[in-house]
Amino acid sequence: MAKKITIDPVTRIEGHLRIDCEVDNGKVTNAWSSGQMWRGIEVILKGRDPRDAWAYTQRICGVCTTVHAIASVRAVEDALDLEIPVNAQLIRNLIIAGHGIHDHIVHFYQLCALDWVDIVSATKADARSASALGQKLSGWRRNGYQEIKAVQDRLKKFISSGQLGIFASGYWGHPAMKLSPEVNLLAATHYLQALEYQRKINQVVAILGSKTPHVQTLAVGGVTNAINPDSPSTLTIEKLFNVKTLIDEVGDFIKQAMLTDVAAIGANYADWTTYGAGVLNYLSVPDMPMDSKGTEYQLAGGYIPNGDISQFAPIASQTDPVLYDNIKESIKHAWYDGDWDRSPYDGETEPNYTGYDYEDKYSWVKSPTFRGEPAQVGPLPHVVAMYLAGHAGTKEYVDSTLATVSSLAGTTVGIEALHSTIGRIAARVIRCAVLYDTMSVSWQALIDNIGKGEMDTFNAPVFPSGEQRGVGFHEAPRGMLSHWIVIENGKIKNYQAVVPSTWNAGPRNGQDALGPYEASLVGNPIADAELPLEVLRTVHSFDPCLACAIHLVDNKRTPIGKVKVL
Amino acid sequence: MKSKVASSHDKQLGGVTRRDFVKFCTGVAASMGLPLTVAPKMAEAVTSPQRPPVIWLSGQECTGCVESLLRTHHPAIDSLIFDLISLEYSETLNAGAGHQAEHHRELSIEANKGKFILVVDGAIPVKDGGVYCQIAGKPVLDILNETAPHAAAVIAIGSCAAWGGVPAAEPNPTGATPVHEILKDKGIPVVNIPGCPPNPYNFLSTVIHFVTFNKLPALDDKMRPKFAYSRLIHENCERRPHFDAGRFAEEFGDEGHRKGYCLYKLGCKGPETYNNCSTLHFGDVATTGCWPVGTGAPCFGCSEAGVGFDSPLFSKARVSFPTPPAQAPEAVPEKGSGAKSFAYGVAGAAVGATAVALANTRGKDED
């Protein structure tokens, strides 16, 4: 008999997410994804200066910090048809990539790994064998016995203290945990090392962005980082070389430790290449612009309908009309008044919480569609698009990762394995390596530009009277992000963010088609309905970000009275 | 009725040492400017029986405050969680999910009544019974009201929890309310660590102070620790001499901006924002200048109620004391013009004062 299980809260994600599943005969047969928090940031933006929007939208999310700031300034620049200096593009690229690398590292190790890695089992490992295994798998220099033993001792001490804290409610010893104690220990060692490397790459973001989370050097028209090699108060040569040094330090960890770890987990959990595919319409946009107009990009994007790679349609630029014309949002199953599909420009939303109803409305998240259908966004769609577009780095990392998995698993694993829970995780790690490569390119281009005497970082925006509309796209760590703005007489008239986690976490759409989280859960095995680790594996593979997923737009100001403070 | 887990917690109270604690809190204490003579007191804290339990509740937040702790170095988050505190519950970091995690939170509150530190990030929506933020089917408003009375101390981290922050910006669609407002009627004091997010060391230093000295650091009238929030950013700003001398950047990338002049005319809210950003920079980077003004970006007052997410970015700040005192040393002009400096300095001060006088009006519509 089918049994309904509710996981609320889903943890190790950003924000407040509830997942409901129907389980029958050890398999998920139906699923519902529900966002549980709403703030209304777009309502707050109305009437404000478009030059201020990024500072507010960045606060949509502190995990995806920077991405909502980037998309916002791009939206206003698109509305004004404003080019920005190449130096500003390159500094933004470095900030975007640095943030993306941090985000991917933290997701893989700190947020998602505990679904696959049994920390308690790691204390039973033979540290020498774990070290030998690590050295066999890759050239990573920090797989030595001493370091691994120190990590194991630390874990043992922590566990013997009895104060397990956030680890007390883990899934240790769960029947779905399959790694050997030695692999667990190796992964736990990299879990702690990862904290160091994400911190290093964040230092790049802090040097260029002033701080993180929530950078402050963006402006509509460019960046606030002044360049003047003859002044002590600007982006000095010393700072630029600090950036370069930090980038280099992180590269080895990504390429040698992280790519190897994901291959090892993939090989040990090969069955998870057959679960979790879900929605196979893949959507991504090009990013890392290298010119002032945004016509040349380091990274490609495109649309793949129904997983059919022969129908791959590249998207040439972030201003491709195919994007503007085909994105809609539905509110049929979300807690807002009404039932419609509309372009974000014309979106209108009034919150109307009616309680959780599986058949009707059950989430604060809306359901975006592309060409009338749900689409999956994120590193997986992006990596597949870059692969099909012939991006050399992507091809290299995909092929080498699949080769490692194949050799460890003793069977040939092809690219089709990426359409899965584990494939989604692997794609994120591959994208992390690709982002790393872009940083060297952007950094060198910036240095070359400065060498040529180009110092510009800002073009002042001018707001004409009347109405302007613009969209800012960004291929963010969790996938395609777009901010839609309508400006009237220099003020924000309407604003909406269509966010990666909205695409993926959305409830059923206007035609009752399941959203990507929901569709990907159907068919997942469940060993123990009381401890639904398998559901978490698939949901975490998307790297949920619920603060992002739920925001609000309305173009008629919602009548909201002053709230009486308790 | 006592659960198994609760009694095992009780047992550990006498068992676990915190030997490593002192090592790490020395570094943190240093960032608070504490004298080395506090060492004996720290040693005392070390003999305390267990890592102090911390329960972290999330309201309408963006997780930026938790994220900021991933960037810290002294202590780093792994030291914090493994060696310094016992983080009992955090939606962001819990290994378990759903009712496993909720169950652990309840047990932990029961076992540590009166001993745990409650940290709250995010504002608390009160409109419509709090439906705009729910955890496990329960409004976070109710969870806060149930949990806070049992805490030894409540810390509101970030501007959202401290004074409302972004979700409370006009027109405050969800009734986003700061934590201290919710707990006022219960007589529960709340320490505020505003900022968006705050410098993580302002939070860590407060926690370490509490667990080391068994009391809170000195607080100002807005319940902010004085070690972090007792000075205006403007007072310790590296560009202050330019302000006093009347040297301002007029636009990003102009000559003044590219010489590191004062950002006042670009909307810098340093003159009305109490925080230590200008002395305690961000990111633990060997390079200096990792803070907004150091990268050419005006402060926008993210930590100050009534300034951040209220005043437009490019509006000019209210300046409390625009005129330098009569005895103020003259600002040093750029190298090479030393001989003419006296006249330059005086003229500059006059320009500065004029700019300030003109700028004292502000509002949502002002440019």
Query: For B150-173, what is each residue's pLDDT tens digit?
Result: 999 999 999 999 999 998 999 888
CA distance A398 to A402: 6
What superfamily does domain B231-335 belong to in CATH?
Cytochrome-c3 hydrogenase, C-terminal domain (4.10.480.10)
Query: For B357-366, what is each residue's pLDDT tens digit?
Result: 333 333 334 3
Residues A218-241, mean pLDDT to the nearest whole number: 95
End-to-end CA distance of chain B: 63
End-to-end CA distance of chain A: 46
> Bigger pLDDT: A338 or A315?
A315
Query: For B270-287, what is each residue's pLDDT tens digit?
Result: 999 999 999 999 998 888
pLDDT the model gives residue B341 = 36
CA distance A449 to A175: 56
> Cα dist. B341→B242, B263, B333, B335 in Å?
13, 22, 6, 10
A 10 A CB-CB count for A415 gives 15
Name which of A102, A211, A352, A535 to mutate to probe chain B: the one with the most chain B Cβ atoms within 10 A of its Cβ.
Answer: A211
How many Å is the maximal CA-CA distance in chain A?
Answer: 75
CA-only gyration radius of chain A, Å: 23
CA distance A107 to A549: 17
pLDDT the model gives residue A64 = 81
Residues B130-146, mean pLDDT to the nearest whole number: 83
Q: Which of A214, A203, A196, A222 is nearest to A57 (CA)?
A: A214
**A479: helix, strand or coil:** strand
CATH code of the region B52-207+216-228: 3.40.50.700
Cβ of residue B104 closer than 8 Å to a chain A Cβ: yes
pLDDT the model gives residue A436 = 98
Q: Is A214 left (phi over 0), alpha (psi -120 to 50) or beta?
A: left
Cβ of residue A207 closer than 8 Å to a chain B Cβ: yes
pLDDT the model gives residue A81 = 97
Residues A177-203, mean pLDDT to the nearest whole number: 95
pLDDT the model gives residue A353 = 80
Helix ranges (DSSP H) in A32-126: 41-45, 53-57, 67-80, 86-106, 119-122
Q: Kindly write down the DSSP assignment for every residue of B96-155, as one continuous string.
A: S-HHHHHHHHHHHHHHTTTTPEEEEESBEE-GGGGTTBEETTEEHHHHHHHHGGG-SEEE
Backbone angles phi, psi at A25, to 5 degrees: 55, 40
CA distance A254 to A105: 8
Distance in Å, alpha carbon of B106 to nearest chain A alpha carbon: 12
Q: Which of B67, B71, B181 lies at the smallest CB-CB distance from A566?
A: B181
Q: Are strands B117-121 and B53-58 parallel, antiparallel or unpaired?
A: parallel
Give A198-219 as a 3 state SS string: HHHHHHHHHHHHCCCCCCCCEE
Contact between A81 and A221 (Cβ < 8 Å): no
Contact between A445 and A297 (Cβ < 8 Å): no
Whether a cis peptide bond, with omega within 30° of 0, leads into A305 is: no
How many A/B residue pairs have CB atoms within 8 Å? 322
pLDDT band with cut points at 50, 70 and 90 for residue A334? confident
DSSP 8-state symbol, B298: P
pLDDT the model gives residue B97 = 65
List A369's β-bridge partners, or say none: A328
Least confident piece of the model among B74-83, B199-208, B266-275: B74-83
Instruction: Examine the pLDDT at A329 and tell me if it is beyond 80.
Output: yes
Instruction: Kindly give the interhelix angle for A421-451 and A379-388, rounded to the nearest 10 degrees.
Output: 70
Backbone angles phi, psi at A252, to 5 degrees: -65, -40
CA–chain centroid gap for A111, Å, is 12
> Bigger pLDDT: B72 or B23?
B72
Cβ of residue A173 closer than 8 Å to a chain B Cβ: no
DSSP 8-state symbol, A107: I
CB contact under 8 A, B165 and A560: no
pLDDT band with cut points at 50, 70 and 90 for residue B6? very low
- Which residues in chain B are classed under CATH 4.10.480.10? 231-335
Q: Taking CA atoms, what residue in B is nearest to A207?
A: B290
Query: For B42-71, what is each residue's pLDDT tens digit?
Result: 434 333 436 788 999 988 888 899 889 888
pLDDT the model gives residue B151 = 95
pLDDT band with cut points at 50, 70 and 90 for residue B76? confident
Q: What is the mean pLDDT of chain B?
A: 77
Residues A149-167, mean pLDDT to the nearest whole number: 82
Tokens of A345: 């420009």
pLDDT the model gives residue B361 = 36
pLDDT band with cut points at 50, 70 and 90 for residue B138? confident
Cβ of residue A211 closer than 8 Å to a chain B Cβ: yes
Contact between B93 and B126 (Cβ < 8 Å): no
Least confident piece of the model among A307-321, B35-49, B67-81: B35-49
CA distance A76 to A68: 12
Q: Taking CA atoms, what residue in A is nearest to B367?
A: A49
CA distance B265 to A110: 43
Instruction: Examine the pLDDT at A525 and tell me if it is beyond 60.
Output: yes
Instruction: Examine the pLDDT at A349 and tell me if it is beyond 80.
Output: no
Q: In the Cβ-directed half-sphere of B283, how many Cα atoms lie within 13 Å?
A: 30
Residues A241-247, mean pLDDT to the nearest whole number: 96
> Cα dist. A336→A45, A60, A164, A328, A333 in Å?
19, 19, 41, 16, 8
Q: What is the mean pLDDT of chain A?
A: 89
pLDDT the model gives residue B332 = 56
pLDDT the model gives residue B275 = 97
Q: Which of B8, B133, B176 lies at the smallest CB-CB distance from A16?
A: B133
Cβ of residue A284 closer than 8 Å to a chain B Cβ: no
- What does the CA dihedral B266, B268, B272, B275 come to, rounded to 10 degrees? 180
**Cα A431-A432-A433 angle, rounded to 5 deg:** 90
Residues A264-271, mean pLDDT to the nearest whole number: 92
> Cα dist. A92→A139, A247, A472, B338 in Å?
32, 15, 14, 38
How many Å is the maximal CA-CA distance in chain B?
Answer: 83
Contact between A557 and B118 (Cβ < 8 Å): no
pLDDT band with cut points at 50, 70 and 90 for residue A208? very high
Distance in Å, alpha carbon of A151 to nearest chain B alpha carbon: 11
CA–chain centroid gap for A292, Å, is 26
Instruction: Examine the pLDDT at A158 and tell me if it is beyond 70.
Output: yes
CA distance A62 to A60: 7
Name which of A76, A156, A163 to mutate to probe chain B: the one with the most chain B Cβ atoms within 10 A of its Cβ.
Answer: A163
pLDDT band with cut points at 50, 70 and 90 for residue B295? very high
Q: Taking CA atoms, what residue in A is nearest to B77?
A: A195
Residues A412-432, mean pLDDT to the nearest whole number: 95
pLDDT the model gives residue A332 = 86
- Which residues in chain B are classed under CATH 3.40.50.700? 52-207+216-228
> Bigger pLDDT: A426 or A528?
A426
pLDDT the model gives residue B350 = 41
pLDDT band with cut points at 50, 70 and 90 for residue A15? low
> Bigger pLDDT: A75 or A30?
A75
Backbone angles phi, psi at A438, to 5 degrees: -65, -30
Tokens of A223: 């960046």
pLDDT band with cut points at 50, 70 and 90 for residue A193? very high
Q: Which residues of A193-204 are buried (b: 16+ CB within 10 A; e: fewer)?
A: bbbbbbbbbbbb
Instruction: Examine the pLDDT at B200 and tell me if it is beyond 70.
Output: yes
Which residues of A form the catalytic set?
14, 61, 64, 68, 478, 501, 545, 548
Tokens of B14: 């006498």
Q: What percent of chain B has pLDDT over 90?
A: 46
Q: Kindly write down the DSSP assignment for every residue of A335-404, as one continuous string.
A: SBSS--EE-GGG----B------TTS--BS--EEEETTB--B-SHHHHHHHHHHTT-HHHHHHHHHHHHH
Q: Which of B50, B96, B166 lies at the smallest CB-CB distance from A59?
A: B166
CA–chain centroid gap for A191, Å, is 19
Sign, CA dihedral A350-A356-A362-A363, equals positive
Distance in Å, alpha carbon of B322 to nearest chain A alpha carbon: 23
Instruction: Examine the pLDDT at B13 and tell me if it is beyond 50.
Output: no
Query: For A544-566, what is each residue's pLDDT tens digit?
Result: 776 555 543 222 222 222 222 22
Sign, CA dihedral A228-A231-A233-A237, equals positive
Q: What domains are there in chain A, each with its CATH number?
A: 3-549 (1.10.645.10)
- pTM exceeds 0.90 for this model: no
Q: What percent of chain A has pLDDT over 70?
A: 93
Instruction: Examine the pLDDT at B269 and tell me if it is beyond 80.
Output: yes
**A6: helix, strand or coil:** strand
pLDDT band with cut points at 50, 70 and 90 for residue B77? confident
CA distance A3 to B11: 39
Q: Is A371 left (phi over 0), alpha (psi -120 to 50) or beta?
A: left
Instruction: Examine the pLDDT at B289 and tell me if it is beyond 80.
Output: yes
Supply the ipTM of this predicted assembly: 0.88
Q: What percent of chain B has pLDDT over 70?
A: 71
Q: Residue A21: which H helix or E strand, with range?
A: strand A17-24
Q: Which of A473, A492, A494, A499 is nearest to A551 (CA)?
A: A499
**Strand order, beta sheet including A367-370:** A341-342, A327-330, A367-370
Q: Are strands B86-89 and B53-58 parallel, antiparallel or unpaired?
A: parallel
CA distance B314 to B299: 10
